[in-house]
Structure 1
Amino acid sequence: MERRSFAENQVETPSCITLFFLHGGKVTEGIATLSLETDSKTTRRRNQISASARGMLREFLLGPENRLIATGIGLSDIEGTSPINFAMHPLLITAPAGYGKTQLLMALGATWSRHYAEHQVTFMTGSELSHAYLEALKLDDVPPFQKRYCRADLLLIDRLDELVDSPAVQHQLSVILDHRIRYERPTVMTTRQPLHALKLSERLTSRISSGLIVPLELPAAATRRELLDRIGEMHRIELSNEARELLAENTLPIPQLMGLFNQLNAMNVAACGPVEKQVVQQLLDDDHDQLDPRNIITATARHFGLKVNSVTGASRRKMDAMARAIAMFLIRDLTTLSYQQIGAFFQNRDHTTVMHACKKINGLIETDSTARSAVQELERFLVPHRS
């Protein structure tokens, strides 16, 4: 297969916005960096997109199938080199897990910061908004809480569905959106489910519906071919035409697609010429045979009587931390995912954190009857044929 350079791809495919950017002479995966700022007076956490981030919209792959999103964010040119101009807001982006909603939000924030360096871009998840509100309640500090999010020049809220069981936070978000709509400050949110399925409060649903609701579609075959070329360039892996077409026609979510290339890297296929279709098909078949990590996390949460967010989140409660470590251990034990890939299911935790958790549980199985019993019961539930 003829290889094309990154620069050549940029020239030949001006209609694509790609997930990758040129950094230090090579293609690098990345969107934007998040900086956690702490207000020492009130110990509030504020998630903000770093103004120095270099992940811009032209680094997110939006093919023709997602042109409606480009329209919604007001791009005057599809390459994302012009400033964003939200003609319709609030903007709600809906899609199942693995479609790239979080990456798109971060790319939006980074692009906005690049063009409006003096503006404040605030990024948070639904659970982080809930946490911030609860802290404000404890400190009798709700008005400053509202003001902080009302005044952000661009407000990005990931996983709005995490507010389903928090009517008080839904009310606060309604108040915030009222202010932002009145003063024309854009807000972009994401959710895994359609708005009507979330069963949010009538007021919040009304405020969101006053803007634009648009689904994020999986890349079509043509877009996936471009994405495969970019990922292959990044990993220095060349696919045969047949292997490339197999993956282009496959609906594998982007994170799993990246994982497949990581597996090819581990197999050191780059030195053997173009990767053949049979090799890729075998990896796809193996992937179908293994457990879904999300099912393992859900089963672990149910075993401990916790919400999934408590297991995947940042809570330091003893029960939450134990369940989180066991879930990481089980994913490592029952799947072929790397430590880094496992960390992605737990708010992108570092691979060393996952390694430490697995080592800890491995030791507790020998010394702690509670941990040993939990692991054994979960394994019997998840993999009955092992019994």
Structure 2
Amino acid sequence: LKAQTALTFKEKLRAIDLLVIDDLQFLQGKTVQQEFGHTLNALLDGGQQVIVAADRPPSELEGVDERLRSRLAGGLTLELGALDEELRAKILAVRVAAAKALHSKFEVPEEVIAYVARTVTANGRDLDGAVNRLLAHNTLTGAPISVEMAETALRDLIRQVEPKRVKVEDIQRIVAKHYQVSRADVLSSRRTQNVVRPRQVAMYLSKTLTLRSLPEIGRRFGGRDHTTVLHAVRKIDELIKTDQTLNDEIELLKRMLLE
């Protein structure tokens, strides 16, 4: 826009075979969203492929235009989970092979790959960091790569696992999905039992898993008063002492939110 080449950019964008967009939840501004919607339509109508990533499903992209959300919802929606140990090991094997192509003496035994895959669990970038550290340690010291050496080289990577910061929006989404209601129902003023219990559970988890104050939690739940949140927290707190089924559900939801 500043260079007054927007038309050329749009023409170039709509002539590609594959468009990949990350963090769509940050796409702000009516004009930008409308332009992206036009581009999306042009690509899909032309038979090209579009992959969009966001931290929530299309229906929950609250800052995104309704028509754009609807078009995105018409595609295949998949939830991407964390890398499991088997996949981490495969990624490490590929990264090690790539490093060995440049450094022929770089040998990483299978037991070391298995150790790294088991202990470096935060994200994929840390796996790259682990391979780079093993390579640097091996190059600088000349010592063969072993599990003991990996423990030393990767000590801070393994230690850096921190408690996950849970967001109220994530709690609302996961609780709603678990109880088979919509997030809009949880935030609404409906008082039916199938909505009241999930709402109270979500408020309880918001109080126990986040640092948000009662008034702020109330605002996140459709502008409710803090006394409503306090009542919900106390209600669930009392129920889980005698209701084993509910207690198990709460523990399951906590694991889902913290994993």
TM-score (normalised: structure 2):
0.48
Give the strand-richer structure, 1 or 2.
1
TM-score (normalised: structure 1):
0.34
With CA pairs under 8 Å and 6+ residues apart, which has the higher RCO, 1 or 2?
Answer: 1
Give the helix-richer structure, 1 or 2.
2
The higher radius of gyration belongs to: 2
